[in-house]
Structure 1
Amino acid sequence: MASEPLLKMEGVGKAYFSNRVLKNVNFTLEKGQILGLVGENGAGKSTLMNILFGMTVIRETGGYEGDIFIDGERIDFNSPFDALRAGIGMVHQEFSLIPGFSVSENVVLNRETTKYNPLVEAFGDRLRTLDRATMVERGRKAIDKLNVSLDPNTMVSELPVGYKQFTEIAREIDKENTRLLVLDEPTAVLTESEADILLASMKRLASLGISIIFISHRLQEVLDVCDKIVILRDGEVVYDTAPDQTDVMSIASHMVGRDVATAFARDEEERKFGDTLLSVEHLWVDMPGETVRDVSMEIKEGEIFGIGGLAGQGKLGIANGIMGMFPAGGKVVFQGKPIVLNDPTSALEAGMSAVYEDRRGVGLLLEEPISWNIIFTALQMQGRFLKPLLGGITKIRDEEAIAECAREYVKSLEIRCVNERQRVQELSGGNQQKVCLAKAFETRPKLLFVAEPTRGIDVGAKKVVLDTLKLYNKKYGTTVVMVSSELEELRSICDRIAIVDSGRIVGTLPAITPSTEFGVLMLGVAKEEEKVGS
């Protein structure tokens, strides 16, 4: 008789009040198998994993339909602690690390190794002390399984974002009873080389008998590492296949329900720009993991300017420094007037705005509704969405105007939600990203910095985001500076692209330049050739 699969889902469904997010989901996962779970943002992936992991939000909103079996036994976890005890680990898309703790302390958190001391005899195990040497060794062993160079004594606050991801995964690996690991967009913040290391580590874990559910929008990675692929669209399984029976375009088309072959085609129309809008001279920014050492550039009015490069080379630090988020120095001139660095209000009042890479930490008020998030900065900085009361003596919020504004963005950006009053923390990552964009657009900036706008979102949502950036640039004349690790997306939308390496711009090329030339700049090959020839 054949053994039971490790995981089996039968007829799983879920509705949040009148909003149906899952319907009749069925699939199996064998021991030591890697399953790729893909779908557009809002397709139901996160809700399905929340059900599996026993997240309290599921029970608080009426539970779910259908059955889930682990090793043939029906389960219905009351909390994530039940899932953890059953050997299910989950690495969420957003980090849950303690910045003030070291890597090893985060890896063993709530499972610390302790040691005996004489006080235990009198006061019991509560007086046992931490065995820090063993804890560091446990952290080192978990990290070694990922084959990355990471000191377990390093403080998490000092790590680049990619290494925070490795720390999250190492924490799950350290748990001795882990037999099913859910990875939600684990490579979204990694460079190509870091992603390759992680994919190889996933295969090693699978060879040890650990099953993995791999949620990713990087479809080629799904094809490269998975044993089977399940595609969700509008809460239903629309495709269940093996990697050798499909390809990237077929997966993408099933995800969005339409042909995506031309999703990122360039517009070849001739574009004209105004005078220099932003001038940067010898900018330095002290941003941990993204240090900027010496950047000079000029951006024309009406241009879509791209900034690319590998993770940790400083590309993210440029916008953060100009917008006053991290200590910075140098000279920044906008519309002929100097910007006061280290003062966030200076850039905002001058007409600049930004969508930051850390949407949850910086960009959003998670406990507040979509509408309040969208208009918050415009209200605070520009005094909009207020109406006079008592003959103008005082002002109150114009709730009707706020709701109408939010509804327009929900429609134009295709934000999947119940309505504009839904709390942002209940949205998928891609829809949160769209709310960040709407918030920035509503300040009506002359120049908009957008950092990693498509990170962690699906191919359909990527097209909406990129098309929206092009629309605002063309219709309203908004100058856009897009910072991204995705070179082909930069090439599809930008007019020029600057490549950052070691905190400096090593070259600026027209976006139509072959991608190989950008690759040479990213890898520092050009600099090495200059050294050899000098």
Structure 2
Amino acid sequence: MDLLQIKNISKNYGENRVLNDVSLSITEGEIHGLVGENGAGKSTLMNILFGMPIIHSTGGYEGEILIDGNIYRPNSPEDAMLAGVGMVHQEFMLIPGFTITENIKLNREGTTPTYLSKIFGKRLEKLDIKTMVKDAKTALKKLDMTVDEFLPVGGLPVGYMQFIEIAREIDKSKLRLLILDEPTAVLTESEASKFLKVIRRLSKMGITILFISHRLDEILEVTDRITILRDGEVAKTVETKEISLSEIARLMVGRQIDFGKREEDIRHIMDDNILEIKDLKVHMPGEIVKGINLTVRRGEILGIGGLAGQGKLGIANGIMGLYESSGTIIKDGKEIPLNNPREALNSSIAFLSEDRRGVGLLLDDSIEFNIAFSSLEVQGRFLKKIGPFKLIDNNKIREHAIKMIKELDIRCTSPKQSTRWLSGGNQQKICIARALTLEPDILLVSEPTRGIDVGAKKLVLDTLVRLNKEYGVTIVITSSELGELRQISDRIAIIYNGKVAGILPPDASDEHFGLLMAGKDIEKVVS
């Protein structure tokens, strides 16, 4: 029996038609995959299902939705939750100053009567902390997550935050349909593997799952059926066992995607070191660096990998001065002062943060201003002189933005569009465009393809290789996806317990990488 039926859904944002006559159905207890490029309409469809205000403030939608054969037209997330629909959003919906328990139980707090509440009413009841903590622990346990439920959410690694989001939905007693919008985008491969087991467990409990992911291997592993969207329309709905990864990718992007390692190319990696990291310590919550010693050769692509919470993300954040650091950073023979982002930028080091919304973007500004801002502020580019005054040259900013939009295939209505309403992958591309505009010698890139679809992922990785090969930019890429590092890196440093466990070539065995990630010694590490 179909739990959910979506019939002929269409949605416009102004003159831009983002969904066109979309229909699909999901049976009770099914795990249904939804895939498509960024801008294909996935998040818009999910926002309609969850009654998000942006849908109704922009003219609503056409078509109808049925749950158990009854008309379902939510005007708010509250309506959706009352109907048994839960959603884990692509971007976090947590309150940083609240504890894990408070976030899980938000708006569903348990209370107990007090003397005053018996006289003046329920509003004077006190929080039942004991029951709330018990519920939070139960939800976290279902995700195999062991963490102090009294910790504040602010400062936790993004992987932890994602599990807390999911725990909040699992805790809802009436949950029947759980929408997961890129739930594993911020998780490492090991965390994602654990999470897929949780999805299967929830499905066996009778919860229907609508699973959106750009990780197509996960879609093939865990789903029963898959619906593929392209340009706002259903390209195909198919039984998972009847389709291959390459066929999904082709239907998504309208062209064949090559998943292989890049072809051998002629690149000259210098013998000298462009960057030397000595005894670097970084106090980044959840990613503490305890003494990194690492050299980066001029012209290479150095990969940095490791499991979540081992410190790999702290390295770039520490070099750029975003978290308190100590140690020595030497670029081109000159020491760079730590704890000073401007000094790092002035040293021709650019940074693409793993936190695109919190650090990488000015969400309420235009695409063109986001691309130009850092270069405008640090380098004084995009200015024109009128007498004694320097004014922003909007024409040059727009001309450059149009060029970057074309090169990175940023899906938008115009360079003037606000970045807030773009899909996650397109926001990530703007972060990349912003870093590239600085024309750096070294580009530090953290999780560059997080939340990006398969077509855009290849474009981003190819762009990094092209920058390295054609423009001589040295790349240091930090990623939770080992396959991504192996695809483009010359060497891969594995971080364990805040230190370098070892350095391997990209074609080293899975066993060797696994041993380093587990903190085991390998006698003959190739470096």
| Equivalent in 259, 263, 270 of residue 267 of structure 1 | 263
Q: Within the alignment, does 1:444 sit opposite 2:444 as a pair?
A: no
> For residue 269 of structure 1, what is the amino acid of its counterpart?
D
What is the distance in 2 between the residues matched to 1:178 and 1:286? 39
Aligned to 1:370: 367
Q: Within the alignment, does 1:95 sit opposite 2:92 as a pair?
A: yes
Contact 1:264 1:463 in 2 (8 A): no
The Cα of 1:244 is off from its aligned counterpart by 1.4
| Equivalent in 462, 467, 470 of residue 467 of structure 1 | 462
Aligned to 1:419: 414
What is the distance in 1 between the residues matched to 2:334 and 2:162? 40
Larger CA deviation: 10-19 vs 409-418: 10-19
Partner-residue secondary structure (3-state), 2:521:
helix
What is the distance in 2 between the residues matched to 1:158 and 1:434? 25
What pairs with 1:224-239 in structure 2 (closer than 5 Å)? 224-239=221-236
Contact 2:188 2:481 in 1 (8 A): no
Q: Which runs of 5+ in 2 are unaligned?
A: none
Contact 2:493 2:501 in 1 (8 A): yes
| Equivalent in 119, 124, 146 of residue 127 of structure 1 | 124
What is the distance in 1 between the residues matched to 2:295 and 2:195? 38
Partner-residue secondary structure (3-state), 1:47:
helix
Q: Which runs of 5+ in 1 are unaligned?
A: none
Q: Within the alignment, does 1:398 sit opposite 2:382 as a pair?
A: no
Aligned to 2:483: 488
> For residue 28 of structure 1, what is the amino acid of its counterpart?
S
Q: What RMSD over aligned residues (CA atoms) do the two structures have, in Å?
A: 1.6
Partner-residue secondary structure (3-state), 1:6:
strand
Partner-residue secondary structure (3-state), 1:157:
coil
> For residue 139 of structure 1, what is the amino acid of its counterpart?
A
> For residue 272 of structure 1, what is the amino acid of its counterpart?
H
Alignment deviations for residues 151-206 of structure 1 (CA, whole Å, 9 cap, x no partner): 32222235332221111111111111111110111112223332232222222222
> For residue 134 of structure 2, what is the amino acid of its counterpart?
E
What is the distance in 2 between the residues matched to 1:304 and 1:146? 35
What is the distance in 1 between the residues matched to 2:76 and 2:157? 31
> For residue 117 of structure 2, what is the amino acid of its counterpart?
V
Contact 2:155 2:285 in 1 (8 A): yes
The Cα of 1:442 is off from its aligned counterpart by 0.5
Contact 1:352 1:448 in 2 (8 A): yes
What is the distance in 2 between the residues matched to 1:191 and 1:413? 25
> For residue 267 of structure 2, what is the amino acid of its counterpart?
R
Contact 1:264 1:489 in 2 (8 A): no
> For residue 514 of structure 2, what is the amino acid of its counterpart?
G
Aligned to 1:434: 429
| Equivalent in 23, 27, 45 of residue 42 of structure 2 | 45
Aligned to 2:285: 288
Partner-residue secondary structure (3-state), 1:453:
coil
What is the distance in 1 between the residues matched to 2:191 and 2:460? 26
Alignment deviations for residues 57-90 of structure 1 (CA, whole Å, 9 cap, x no partner): 1222222221111111122222222112211110
What is the distance in 2 between the residues matched to 1:196 and 1:296? 31
Larger CA deviation: 243-252 vs 308-317: 243-252
| Equivalent in 314, 318, 328 of residue 315 of structure 2 | 318
What is the distance in 1 between the residues matched to 2:260 and 2:305? 17
Larger CA deviation: 355-364 vs 38-47: 38-47
What is the distance in 1 between the residues matched to 2:196 and 2:481? 19
What is the distance in 2 between the residues matched to 1:29 and 1:271? 50
What is the distance in 2 between the residues matched to 1:159 and 1:380? 30
The Cα of 1:425 is off from its aligned counterpart by 0.9
Alignment deviations for residues 4-36 of structure 1 (CA, whole Å, 9 cap, x no partner): x11101111112222221111111011111101
What is the distance in 1 between the residues matched to 2:137 and 2:29? 24
Partner-residue secondary structure (3-state), 1:325:
coil
Aligned to 2:113: 116
Aligned to 2:14: 17
What is the distance in 2 between the residues matched to 1:159 and 1:401? 40
| Structure-1-length-normalised TM-score | 0.95
The Cα of 1:515 is off from its aligned counterpart by 4.0
Aligned to 1:352: 349
What is the distance in 2 between the residues matched to 1:363 and 1:465? 16
Aligned to 2:67: 70
| Equivalent in 80, 84, 91 of residue 81 of structure 2 | 84
Contact 1:309 1:315 in 2 (8 A): yes
Contact 1:387 1:395 in 2 (8 A): yes
Alignment deviations for residues 448-485 of structure 1 (CA, whole Å, 9 cap, x no partner): 10000011111100011011111222222111111111
The Cα of 1:370 is off from its aligned counterpart by 0.4
| Equivalent in 313, 318, 329 of residue 332 of structure 1 | 329
What is the distance in 2 between the residues matched to 1:26 and 1:524? 49
What is the distance in 1 between the residues matched to 2:397 and 2:158? 35
Contact 1:148 1:197 in 2 (8 A): no
Residues 404/158 of structure 1: CA separation in 2 closer, same or farther (3 Å cut)? closer
Query: How many pairs were matched up?
Result: 523
The Cα of 1:398 is off from its aligned counterpart by 0.8
> For residue 335 of structure 2, what is the amino acid of its counterpart?
P
What is the distance in 2 between the residues matched to 1:297 and 1:146? 35
| Equivalent in 492, 502, 508 of residue 507 of structure 1 | 502
What pairs with 1:165-176 in structure 2 (closer than 5 Å)? 165-176=162-173
Aligned to 2:448: 453
What is the distance in 1 between the residues matched to 2:305 and 2:41? 32
Contact 2:190 2:307 in 1 (8 A): no
Alignment deviations for residues 248-305 of structure 1 (CA, whole Å, 9 cap, x no partner): 2222222122222x24432312421232111111111111111111111111222111
| Equivalent in 295, 303, 307 of residue 306 of structure 1 | 303
> For residue 5 of structure 2, what is the amino acid of its counterpart?
K
What is the distance in 1 between the residues matched to 2:44 and 2:312? 33
> For residue 59 of structure 1, what is the amino acid of its counterpart?
H
The Cα of 1:486 is off from its aligned counterpart by 1.3
Larger CA deviation: 73-82 vs 129-138: 73-82
> For residue 306 of structure 2, what is the amino acid of its counterpart?
G
> For residue 271 of structure 1, what is the amino acid of its counterpart?
R
Aligned to 2:180: 183
What is the distance in 2 between the residues matched to 1:319 and 1:192? 21
Aligned to 2:152: 155
Larger CA deviation: 72-81 vs 30-39: 72-81
The Cα of 1:243 is off from its aligned counterpart by 1.6
> For residue 68 of structure 1, what is the amino acid of its counterpart?
I
Aligned to 1:361: 358
The Cα of 1:246 is off from its aligned counterpart by 1.6
Larger CA deviation: 154-163 vs 482-491: 154-163
> For residue 211 of structure 1, what is the amino acid of its counterpart?
T
Contact 1:303 1:480 in 2 (8 A): yes
> For residue 51 of structure 2, what is the amino acid of its counterpart?
G
Partner-residue secondary structure (3-state), 2:19:
strand
